[in-house]
Copies of this chain bind each other. A is one copy, B any other.
Amino acid sequence: MSKLRVSCFSISLDGYGAGPGQDEQNPLGRNGAELHGWFLTTRPFQSMHGPSAQGTTGLDDDFARRGAENLGAWIMGRNMFGPVRGPWPDERWRGWWGENPPYHVPVFVLTHHARRPLEMEGGTTFHFVTGGIEEALGRARQAAGSADIRVGGGAATIRQYLRAGLIDELHLAVSPVLLGSGESLLGGLDLRALGYRVTEHVASPAATHVLLQRGPAT
């Protein structure tokens, strides 16, 4: 059955999914890039940016690969799509990823400001959804069919879906760094009460990987 998944979401030891001060120069916020050390060396990441035989193998790579498997649609918050805030001044911002983004499926971008769909190379089309998380999920389910849907981020978007009890599975990579401030992923959220349990826990030198799955709330 199609699952709503978060995969490969990196957080710091102190729980932040991005650093403070996100802008066009710092899409991950200040020091936020430190969260992603484990991912940058993997084959799935390397193959987005060149010949696919590059990159490490092993635990980090396995998780990166699992994260990319069986996806029929993505959902992301507007800040993950770009640094533009408020109404779209024009259609010039086309995402962080160039003309051939690494999604290759429909991507539903949550925003308060309507915009025409944006068809990119390689199968990625960005759809701008103004009706909230349930509307985005409904449209993503239609697009994905029996494949899974991945909520990319950022933290605020994932928190909305978690609060609504909609996420089936959450893979976090806890990186051994301190950010000190930024966007907290889990602060104030009672995942235990929402029915989540840790079902996998394994570490590489670069990150501790944990899988949370949702069962009946207790």
Contacts and interface: CB of A to CB of B under 8 A. Distances in A.
Interface of A: 13-15, 31, 172, 174, 176-181, 184, 186-187, 189-194, 196-198, 201-203, 205, 208, 210, 212
Contact of A176 (B14, B181, B198): B198
A196 B194 CA distance: 33
Q: How many identical subunits does the complex contain?
A: 2
Contacts of A172: 13
Contact of A180 (B179, B190, B208): B190
A178 B197 contact: yes
Given A13-B198, A13-B210, A208-B203, A180 B176 contact: no
A180 B191 contact: yes
A191 to B, nearest CB: 5
A13 B13 CA distance: 9
Centre residue among A174, A191, A192, A193 by max chain B CB count within 10 A: A192
Tell me the interface secondary structure of chain A in the complex.
Answer: loop
Nearest to A206: B201
Centre residue among A191, A194, A196, A203 by max chain B CB count within 10 A: A203
Contacts of A14: 15, 186, 189, 191-192
Nearest to A187: B187
Contact of A190 (B15, B181, B202): B181
A192 B35 CA distance: 14
B174 A208 contact: yes
Contacts of A197: 178
Contact of A177 (B13, B186, B187, B198): B198
Contacts of A189: 14
